[in-house]
A and B are shown apart, each in its own frame.
With several copies, the nearest count.
Chain A
Amino acid sequence: MQSLQCSITDAIIDPAAVLAGTSSDNDGAVVLFLGVVRDHNDDRAVSHLEYEAYTAMAEAELRKVGQEARDRFDVGTVRIVHRIGRLEIGEVSVAISVASPHRAAAYESSRYIIEELKKRVPIWKREGYLEGERVWLAGGTK
Chain B
Amino acid sequence: MIIRTLFFASYKDIAGSDALDIELPEGALVSDLVSQLRACGDCWNDLPASPVAAVNREYSPLSTSLAHGDEVAFIPPVSGG
Are A and B associated in one complex? yes
Segment at the interface with B among A12-20, A50-58, A104-112: A50-58
B25 to chain A, nearest CB (A): 26
Residue total for A at the interface (Cβ-Cβ under 8 A):
29
Task: Flag if A122 contacts B79 (CB, 8 Å).
Answer: no
When distances are taken between beta carbons in the complex, the residues of chain B under 8 Å from A119 are 78
Segment at the interface with A among B3-11, B28-36, B38-46, B61-69: B3-11
Q: A52-B8, A54-B6, A54-B73 are in contact. Are A140 and B79 (CB under 8 A)?
A: yes
Main secondary structure of the interface of A (DSSP, over half): mixed
Q: A136-B9, A138-B10 are in contact. Are A123 and B54 (CB under 8 A)?
A: no
Interface string of A109-142 (1 = CB under 8 A from B): 0000010011111111110000000001111110
B6 to chain A, nearest CB (A): 7
Q: A52-B9, A57-B54, A60-B57 are in contact. Are A82 and B80 (CB under 8 A)?
A: yes
When distances are taken between beta carbons in the complex, the residues of chain A under 8 Å from B77 are 138-139
Task: Flag if B81 contacts A94 (CB, 8 Å).
Answer: yes
Task: Flag if A122 contacts B78 (CB, 8 Å).
Answer: yes
Whole-angstrom distance between the alpha carbons of A56 and B6 in the complex? 12
Task: Flag if A118 contacts B80 (CB, 8 Å).
Answer: yes
8 Å CB contact of A120 from B9, B13, B73, B78? B78
A119 to chain B, nearest CB (A): 7
For window 51-77 of chain B, which residues contact chain A by CB distance below 8 Å? 54, 57-59, 73, 75-77
Supplied contacts A118-B80, A136-B9, 6 more A-B pairs, CB within 8 Å: A53-B80, A122-B78, A123-B80, A124-B78, A139-B77, A140-B79
Q: A-contacting residues of B (Cβ < 8 Å)?
A: 6, 8-10, 13, 54, 57-59, 73, 75-81
